Amino acid sequence: METKNQNIIYKDLTYKIIGICYDIFYELGPGHKELYYKNALALALGKEKMKYQREIYAPLIYKNHKVGKYFFDFLVENKIVLEIKRGDRISQRDIKQLYGYLKSKNLKLGLIIRFTSKGVVVKRVVNLK
């Protein structure tokens, strides 16, 4: 019998990242600058011995010409893009932005991790192409 969770891309890695973010929120609480949550996440990823890069540059290419550029918050284990936000709402703009990052680096999965007034909200964005 197959379960829905068997089809989740990078399931174990995703759950570990989300757990780290819950720990950060539990300790820091709400209302801090986005940068502070990012700094805490970098420390936590390092402590967990997870490979990550921060502030990744990704050019936007059209017909072999650079027409723009992106900078995204984290790339974990060369697999998952993390976009860290604060505030109470994930917008369509946030989702489209992350999808653009995934396409620019030909990656499959990104997580929008929003630190809200009440907890952590996570949105998975999948690049099927």
Summarised one tens digit per residue, pLDDT across range 8-38 is: 899 999 999 999 999 999 999 999 999 999 9
Question: pLDDT category, 121, cuts 50, 70, 90?
Answer: very high
CATH of domain 4-126: 3.40.1350
Mean pLDDT over all residues of the chain? 92
Q: Report pLDDT for 126.
A: 96
List the 80-86 sheet strands across, edge first.
52-62, 65-76, 80-86, 109-115, 120-126
| Predicted TM-score (pTM) of this structure | 0.89
Question: pLDDT category, 59, cuts 50, 70, 90?
Answer: confident
Taking each helix axis from N to C end, the angle separating 34-47 and 11-28, rounded to the nearest 10 degrees, works out to: 120
H helices of 7-115, where? 11-28, 34-47, 92-105
pLDDT exceeds 80 at position 3? no
DSSP-based three-state secondary structure for 8: coil
| Cβ atoms within 10 Å of 123's Cβ, excluding its own | 15
- Domain spans of the chain, in order of start: 4-126
